[in-house]
Amino acid sequence: DAKTTQPPSMDCAEGRAANLPCNHSTISGNEYVYWYRQIHSQGPQYIIHGLKNNETNEMASLIITEDRKSSTLILPHATLRDTAVYYCRTHSGGSNYKLTFGKGTLLTVNP
């Protein structure tokens, strides 16, 4: 898995878009990018993943740069309930089953 780098914290105003960056410059060609979030004291929750193309679901959008060395998770209209720690990680299939997490970004959505 590629090493990921995320800012430790970010703020966002309620109703505005939250753009969370992640650097994964050593990512290999078959590694997916995954985003999870953890609302205080709860189990982490899967948000979205992608390989090369940008992805969108009901929760968020994932933008992956053309060289795949970084990505951005976009919450289009952040609400107070989106305050959480957001984790970016990469993983390929195959024989690497040791799924670890970095420290993530604490997103605080302010009223």
Partner 1 sequence: NAGVTQTPKFRILKIGQSMTLQCTQDMNHNYMYWYRQDPGMGLKLIYYSVGAGITDKGEVPNGYNVSRSTTEDFPLRLELAAPSQTSVYFCASSIQGTGANVLTFGAGSRLTVL
Examine residue 100 and tell whether it contacts partner 1 (CB under 8 A): yes
Please state, in angstroms and rounded to a whole number, the distance separating the CA atoms of residues 21 and 67.
15
Closer to partner 1 by Cβ: residue 72 or 92: 92
Examine residue 53 and tell whether it contacts partner 1 (CB under 8 A): no
8 burial via Cβ count (<10 Å: 0-12, 13-18, 19+): exposed
Among 45, 54, 57, 79, binds partner 1 (CB under 8 A): 45
Instruction: Give SS3 for 82.
Output: helix
Examine residue 72 and tell whether it contacts partner 1 (CB under 8 A): no
Please tell me the count of residues contacting partner 1 according to CB under 8 A: 22
